[in-house]
Chain A
Amino acid sequence: MKTGTWRVKTGFARMLKGGVVMDVTNVEQAQIAEDAGAVAVMVLEKVPADIRKAGGVARMCDPAKIEEIMDHVTIPVMAKCRIGHVAEAQVLEAIGVDMIDESEVLTPADEERHINKWEFDVPFVCGARNLGEALRRIAEGAAMIRTKGEAGTGNVAEAVRHMRIMRQEISELTKLDKEELYQKAKEYGVPFDLVAEVASLGRLPVVNFAAGGIATPADAALMMQLGADGIFVGSGIFKSDRPQEMAEAIVEATAYYDDPEVVAEVSKNLGDEVAMQGIDISEIPEEERMQTRGD
C-alpha cells in the first residue's frame, strides 16, 4: 500500500476536470459553493480582490478556519500557502487539506525558490504564465497547473493570454526534433524527459485549469473553449451581488461551455449590475501585479 504517489496526486487533479473550484472565506460560503455544485473549495482569509485592496502581507489562512470548513462540507478542501513557504505547506498538510496551492496571490516568502513538492503526500497546484513556468513547477512536483491570470481583477484578459501562450508553446514543441528539445529543456531549466513528454502528448502531463480574473459564466465558457480542463473562481462569486446564482451559473457554463444556449440561459440577470466590478490590467502598476511573483 502506497500513499502520495504521482498517480494518486495527479489522479486527484483529474477528478476535478470539467469542474469549478471556488474561493471561500467562511463556512457559509463553502456551503453555498457545495450546494451550487463546486468540485472543491479554496479557503482563504480574504478573497484576492480584498487582498489587493488591503495591501500588506498576505499569508496562509488560519488553520482553525480551514478545519471548520473541512468539517462542514464533503467536497475537497484546498488552501493556499506562500511561494517557497515550506512551513505553511507542512501546516496545511498536517491538518489534512486535500490540495495545496503554492500561490502568487499571497506574498511570496522566498524570492529565489519554490517548495520542493516531492517531499509532500498532499498534491500541489501552482500558477503559470507560460510553458517554462508550468514545466518548472511540474519538475518541482506540482500535480496540477493553473494559469495565473491576474487575480482579484475580475478581468479575464490575463488568464486568456496565459492559456494562449501555453498552448502555442506546446504546439511549437511538438514540431521540434530531439536536438531542439534538448535546447528547450535547457532554456526552461527542466529535465529533457519532461519536455519530450509534453512534445509527444501535445499537452501538459498534468491537469491544467484556468484561474485569475474569471468573473462571469461566459468567462468560464471562454476559458474552457481555449482548452482549460476546469476553472478556479476567486473573487468572482462572493464579490458578486448574487453569489448563489453566480456560483450555479459558472458551474453550468463550465460543464456546458460549448453550448451557447445553456451559457445564455444561466447568464441572464447576472450582468454588470451583479458581477464583481473589474479592474483593467493597465490600471495596476507593474509592482502590484501578482502574476510576476515566482517565475
Chain B
Amino acid sequence: MKVAVIAVQGDVEEHEWALERAGEELGEDVEVVWARYPEDLEGVDAVVLPGGESTTIGKLMERHGLVKPLLELAESEVPIMGTCAGMVLLAREVVPQAHPGTKVDIEQPLLGLMDVRVVRNAFGRQRESFEVDLEIKGLEGGEFRAVFIRAPAVDKVLSDDVDVLAEYGDYIVAVEQDHLLATAFHPELTDDHRLHAYFLEKV
C-alpha cells in the first residue's frame, strides 16, 4: 500500500521509519511517499500528518495546494492520521494555550475534519514536556510509551462520532473518528509501532 506523509515540515523521516516497521509487522508492503505537491497525493491509500509546527505546516499546505486534495481524500474515506501538530490540523476548533498572560489569537489554516476542540500546548512549554506510559483503547500488548512535546490535547468532543482512545490528566490525548486517528503524543518517536500498525489496518 501507498502511504503519504505530508512533508512540508516536521518529523517526516520518523513517521516513514515507523510506517515501514509497522508494515513489516503486519506483513504488508508499505511504500511511503513524501508529499509536498498535490500530485503526490494521487492514488494514496492513507495519509499521515506528522509532528512539527502546526502553523508552519498549515501555511505551507495552503500555499502549495495540499488542502483541497486532502479534503477530497477524507471525503472518500481514505484513512488519515495526525500526531501532535497533525492533531491540531485535523481538529474542527483550536484554542490557544492556557499559558497565563497569553495575548495570542490563533488564526491558522485547519483541515477541520475531526469533531474535537484542541487546546494548543495544553501541558505547557518545552520545560513541561514529558513521557509517560498510557493505556490505549483497542491496543493490545499493554501500555504505550507516549512522548508529549509542547503537546496539544482535546478538551472537548463535539460529536458522538468521536471515540476517545486515551486520556491523560484533564485531557483526551488520542481520538478516533471513523477513518481518522489523532494523537497528542508522538508514536513515531519510540520503537513501539503498534499505533502505526493500528492505523494501517484501517486501509
Contact = CB atoms under 8 A, between A and B. Distances in A.
A77 to B, nearest CB: 8
A97 B12 CA distance: 25
B132 interface: yes
A1 B130 contact: yes
B9 interface: yes
Contacts of A7: 131, 147, 189-190
Interface in A140-198: none
A98 B126 contact: yes
A96 B9 contact: no
B150 A14 contact: no
Interface stretch (A15-23, A80-88, A210-218): A15-23
Give the dominant DSSP class at B's interface: loop
Contact of B60 (A93, A99, A251): A251
A14 B14 contact: yes
A282 interface: no
Given A17-B10, A76-B150, A256 B36 contact: yes
B56 A251 contact: yes
A40 B8 contact: no
Interface string A67-92: 00011111110000000000000000
B101 A71 contact: yes
Give the dominant DSSP class at A's interface: loop
Interface in A248-265: 251-252, 255-256
B11 A15 contact: yes
B76 to A, nearest CB: 27
A74 B120 contact: yes
Contacts of B190: 7
Contacts of A202: none
A74 B55 CA distance: 9
B118 to A, nearest CB: 12
B189 A11 contact: yes
B85 A15 contact: yes
A12 interface: yes
A42 interface: no
Interface of B: 7-14, 36, 51-53, 55-56, 59-60, 63-64, 84-85, 96-97, 99, 101-104, 106, 120-121, 124-132, 147-150, 186, 189-190
Interface of A: 1-5, 7-8, 11-12, 14-19, 34, 37-40, 70-76, 93, 96-99, 121-123, 251-252, 255-256
17 contacts: A1-B132, A3-B128, A8-B149, A12-B150, A15-B53, A17-B10, A17-B13, A37-B60, A38-B56, A70-B99, A71-B99, A71-B101, A72-B103, A74-B106, A75-B56, A96-B127, A251-B56
